[in-house]
Amino acid sequence: MSAIEQQKTDEQHNKYESKKKNRVAAFFIFCVTVAFVAFICVFYHLATTDRKLPAFVTSKKSSAIRGNIVSADGYVLAASQKLYRAEVYPNFISPDKEEMFIDLYSIYSGDDKEEVRKKIEDFKKQSDEKRSEKVVLSEKISPKIAEDLKVLSRRLSMLKVFIKYKGLSERSIDIIEHREKRVYPYNDTLSPLIGHIRDEKKDNFISLLGMNGIERYYEDRLAPIQDFYLRGNRDISNTVILNGNAEVKQKIDGQSIELSIPIKLQKSIEKILDNAKRNFHAKEIISIVMRSDTGEIMAFATSNRYNINSIQNSDIPLLRISAAEDVYEPGSVMKPIVYAILLQEDKLDPKEMIKGYGGTYKIGEYTIKDEIPKDRMTAEEALINSSNIGMFQLGQRLDGVIYHRRLAEFGLGKKTDIDLSVESTGTIGNAQFLSNTISKGTASYGYGINVNFIQLIQASNVFNNNGVFISPKIASYIVEKSGKKHKIENEPPRDVLTEEKSEIVKNALIKVAFERNRKRALVEGVEIGGKTGTARIASNKGGYKERYNSSFIGFANDKEGNKYTIGVLVVEPTTANNLYYGAQSAMPTFKKIVEELVEQDYLKRDLDK
CATH of the domain at 170: 3.30.70.2110
User: Is position 432 within any domain?
Assistant: yes
Of the pLDDT bands very low, low, confident and very high (cuts 50, 70, 90), residue 506 is very high
Q: Quote the DSSP letter at residue 480.
A: -
Q: At what angle do helices 335-344 and 499-511 cross, to 10 degrees?
A: 150
329, 209: one domain = no
Percentage of the chain lying above the pLDDT 70 cut: 86
CA distance 583 to 581: 5
User: Is position 608 within any domain?
Assistant: no
Stretch 572-582: mean pLDDT, rounded?
91
**Number of other residues whose CB lies within 10 A of the CB of residue 148:** 17
328, 424: one domain = yes
132, 220: one domain = no
pLDDT at 129 over 80: no
pLDDT at 100 over 90: yes
Average pLDDT, the chain: 89
Closest alpha carbon to 69 in 284, 219, 286: 219
99, 199: one domain = no
Stretch 386-394: mean pLDDT, rounded?
97
pLDDT at 354 over 90: yes
141, 290: one domain = no
- What local confidence, expressed as pLDDT, does residue 246 receive? 66
CATH of the domain at 452: 3.40.710.10
C-alpha neighbours within 13 Å on the C-beta side of residue 486: 9
- What local confidence, expressed as pLDDT, does residue 9 receive? 57
Stretch 506-529: mean pLDDT, rounded?
86
236, 290: one domain = no
CA distance 197 to 421: 13
- What local confidence, expressed as pLDDT, does residue 52 receive? 42
CA angle 576-582-583, nearest 5°?
A: 90
Of the pLDDT bands very low, low, confident and very high (cuts 50, 70, 90), residue 527 is very high
Element (H, E) at 369: strand 366-369
- What local confidence, expressed as pLDDT, does residue 50 receive? 45
Stretch 182-193: mean pLDDT, rounded?
97
pLDDT at 522 over 90: no
478: which strand partners? Answer: 257, 486
User: Is position 379 within any domain?
Assistant: no
User: Is position 546 within any domain?
Assistant: yes
- What local confidence, expressed as pLDDT, does residue 276 receive? 97
pLDDT at 488 over 60: yes
**Lowest mean pLDDT across 250-254, 384-388, 463-467:** 250-254
**Lowest mean pLDDT across 129-138, 161-170, 211-220, 487-496:** 129-138
pLDDT digits (tens, 9 = 90+) for 294-333: 999 999 999 999 999 999 999 999 999 999 999 999 999 9
275, 210: one domain = no
- What local confidence, expressed as pLDDT, does residue 233 receive? 67
348 vs 364, higher pLDDT: 348
CB 283 within 8 A of CB 571: yes
430, 566: one domain = yes
Last residue of a domain, one of 162, 179, 196: 179
User: Is position 553 within any domain?
Assistant: yes
pLDDT at 471 over 80: yes
pLDDT at 583 over 50: yes
User: Is position 23 within any domain?
Assistant: no
Stretch 148-176: mean pLDDT, rounded?
91
- What local confidence, expressed as pLDDT, does residue 54 receive? 45
Cβ burial of 225 (10 Å; 0-12, 13-18, 19+) is: middle
- What local confidence, expressed as pLDDT, does residue 7 receive? 56
Last residue of a domain, one of 216, 239, 257: 257
290, 216: one domain = no
**Lowest mean pLDDT across 20-29, 294-303, 360-369:** 20-29
442, 518: one domain = yes
For residue 497, give Cα distances in angstroms to 398, 465, 487.
16, 10, 28
CA distance 136 to 111: 12
Stretch 288-293: mean pLDDT, rounded?
98
- What local confidence, expressed as pLDDT, does residue 545 receive? 84
Residue 30: alpha-carbon gap to chain centroid: 81
CATH of the domain at 223: 3.90.1310.10
448, 504: one domain = yes
Stretch 399-425: mean pLDDT, rounded?
96
What number of helices (H) and strands (E) belong to the chain?
A: 17, 23
pLDDT digits (tens, 9 = 90+) for 69-95: 999 999 999 999 999 999 999 989 999
CB 545 within 8 A of CB 539: yes
Tell me what percent of the chain is helix, strand and coil, each rounded to the nearest 5.
40, 25, 35
Element (H, E) at 508: helix 499-511
Domain total in the chain: 3
User: Is position 152 within any domain?
Assistant: yes
pLDDT digits (tens, 9 = 90+) for 216-236: 999 999 999 998 777 766 655
Name every residue whose Cβ is closer than 8 Å to that of residue 408 and which is 6 or more positions away in sequence. Answer: 414, 428
- What local confidence, expressed as pLDDT, does residue 213 receive? 96
CB 43 within 8 A of CB 211: no
CA distance 588 to 282: 14
Of the pLDDT bands very low, low, confident and very high (cuts 50, 70, 90), residue 539 is confident
**Lowest mean pLDDT across 58-67, 203-212, 340-349, 415-424:** 58-67
Left, alpha or beta for 280 (phi > 0: left; psi -120 to 50: alpha)?
alpha
Q: Which domain holds residue 122?
A: 83-179
* Strands of 228-233's sheet in order across: 57-62, 228-233, 247-249
User: Is position 366 within any domain?
Assistant: no
Which residue type occupies 115? E
CA distance 45 to 298: 75
466, 509: one domain = yes
